[in-house]
Amino acid sequence: MHQLFSLVLAQRDLSRARDLFSLDDLEIEDGLSQALEEIKDITNLQDYRTNDNDQAVVEICITRITTAIRETSSIERHGLALVGLWESCLEHNLTPQGETEDTPHAKIASDITSCILQNYSRPPVMVLAVHVAVRFLQRGNRELSRNMSSYLSLAAIAKADLLAEHTQAITLSVLGGNHMLLRVLPSVYPKQPDAIHRHLGNLTAMMSQLESPEQKHLLRLIQMVAEQHPLILSPHVPVLVGYLSDPSLNEAVLCMLVDVSQASPSSLVSFLPTLRIVGQQSPSFLSHVAKIHRAVGIINEAWARSSLAYLVSLLGSMEHSLHHGLLLEVRGLTERHASILGGCSRDIYRMSNSFTAIARLLGRRLEQSKSLAAHTMRSRSVNSDSGHDEEGVELAEEKWEVDRLYVHLRDNMEKIKEFCSPMLRQIPIPEQCVIEDSNRGCVAKLSFSCPLKGHYCLYGKSCFNLTSRQPHLWINIMLLHLQSKSSSPLSSREQNVQRLASLWERTQLKGAHSFYMAMMQHPTPHKKDLDSLQIHLEEVHFFDLFGYSEDEAAWLCFMCNNPDKASVVNQEGQPLMEGKLKEKQVRWKFIKRWKTRYFTLAGNQLLFRKNKSKYELDDSPIELSKVQSVKVVVKKRRDCGLPRAFEIFTDNKTYVLKARDEKHAEEWLQCINVAVAQARERENREATTYL
């Protein structure tokens, strides 16, 4: 620390403190962190709040330090000390004295805030600062909170990840009146949706209290909820419908209600009269109102008839530009409930190009399957008297014509079982799936273990892990596997299905199908898709380490599948495989220099020898627990047959080995992969025992 800084801080010399500004920035930069630590000690003294001289000295020193940090761009070097002083202010009273007078520690915090948070685009600084900045939001100083909110909003744009873990605190600050932070919530929502879902009712209810710019941020947040988790929004439909009378909100709110209606149509049933009035007052919103009516009509045939009557009435009266979209909604309902038109819906749509004529024909038909409904009710009454009670079936169907995934799986149960029976012998089902972002899009991190977990199991304490760029296909297969194990159709409400839907949403691109819509596109994946998964599993040597057991009806590891080999392999000194291989002596591809050696794969090592003798080790052995991967050296020409060479990668060296033929190479590859997995499992078991 510079001598003048030491003097000023040690003696609290206000007269010399002003001389600090005569020093060059580079002259004092090296000791700024030490100066900040001494200032923190001074501000923590019991009499600091009443000592005007000390306060003035500290204020001048902090101004000089923050100026030097900005001029020398040394915030990352001194950030830890600066944040430490800033955080120490939280241990003191920050509530203003009177209307405008800040406390001494509030003044320090305010002076440091801009120096730190102006660096919102520098992740190392924000990592130190964000958790402290969030704590200032709830300390009763409105001006300080407002400044923090402004900088945190910028930080959310630059690096939302840093704020995500503080979503709960930010949400509570918003609900406490700090509306400026509303612009942060849409940025952190994808990372921490549950923290916002817990307060969604209070957030939705505060819309009318906000200014127009703040309303836009809240609308954006609620729209994201409606698109990604519409069921979460369904309890708040009454509040949203109340905002339809506000011209500045009604269009955005209608879009949200359309999304909610696709997932929970029953939550909109009691508000159909209100929606019809909105459509009547603003014809441009009729397409949204029509979509909601169609969604409600899917619940059961009674609601389908009611919705169709309204939609058909619009066909004959609304302007021509809206006819096509409206007719699609009508057609969707009539095809879903074909009994309403008695199977003649396609004929009606083909009979005339006039929307008015179609409306008239549909209207007549609806008046008629009414007469039929009355006849059906009388018939059911007779059946009931005869002991044929159908009420249970109807109630069950009504509980689920809402869950479209249930209906799809119910209608394709036999097809799914027929598909899964052979598929499960070709493709294993992962025990765990995690979706992560990568430079080339989302990937699935899959984990496979051995369910038997025998004495010599390769994956008793660990898992075989692989990364796939086909997350959608794996999620689809996992759903079909769940259905094949169940004796009844799965529901979208079931926890395992919702977990898969959540994985799907993390991979979803803009404009792509939702999980439930995608699952209903095709009953089962195409063969070429399954082939691509099988090829990938071969490339990562999964089938060297696992095999399908007909007895266990599961994929078991090599050792559990071959217990006779396992007992032999695990005998002390018993080799798993041995024989001659050629090792490439030079890494450059154009130099073909190979040396023949005798290799023995036993225990945790791959040994090199000049010949079969046990005492002539040619080189230090390869420790199998240190092997990172084993890969085939692929030949470029298609007519060269299967490759004979393979590479072994350790943490500090790569070995290129070649067998005498393709079959011999395959045997070595499998044995090495098994031995590597066995070595890693042994280490995991030892670590577990030690712990």
3-state SS of 217-269 is HHHHHHHHHHHHCHHHHHHHHHHHHHHHHCCCCHHHHHHHHHHHHHHCHHHHH
pLDDT at residue 483 tops 50: yes
Beta strands in 258-303 (DSSP E): none
* pLDDT confidence of residue 202: 94
More confident residue, 42 or 663: 42
Give the model confidence (pLDDT) of 498-537 as tens digits: 999 999 988 866 556 778 888 887 889 999 999 999 999 9
Give the pLDDT band (50/70/90) at residue 582. Answer: confident
pLDDT at residue 395 tops 50: no
> Chain-wide mean pLDDT for the chain?
81
Question: CA 321 to CA 310: how far, in whole Å?
Answer: 18
Q: Which of 107, 188, 190, 114 is nearest to 141 (CA)?
A: 107
Give the pLDDT band (50/70/90) at residue 628. Answer: confident
Question: CA 104 to CA 53: how far, in whole Å?
Answer: 12
pLDDT at residue 139 tops 50: yes
pLDDT at residue 400 tops 90: no
Q: In sequence order, which residues have a C-beta less than 8 Å from that of residue 308 and are 6 or more positions away?
A: 297, 330, 333, 334, 340, 362, 366
Question: CA 338 to CA 369: how far, in whole Å?
Answer: 10
* pLDDT confidence of residue 375: 38
pLDDT at residue 43 tops 80: yes
Give the pLDDT band (50/70/90) at residue 636. Answer: very low
Q: How far is CA 278 from CA 244, 274, 285, 291, 376, in A?
A: 8, 6, 7, 14, 35
pTM comes to: 0.49
Give the pLDDT band (50/70/90) at residue 249. Answer: very high
Residue whose token pair is 């400044």: 147
Average pLDDT over residues 73-88: 92
pLDDT at residue 360 tops 70: no
Average pLDDT over residues 59-81: 92
- At 622 the three-state DSSP class reads strand
First to last CA, the chain: 47
Give the model confidence (pLDDT) of 300-359 as tens digits: 888 888 888 888 777 656 666 667 777 778 877 877 777 776 544 554 555 445 555 555
**12 touches 57 (CB < 8 A):** yes
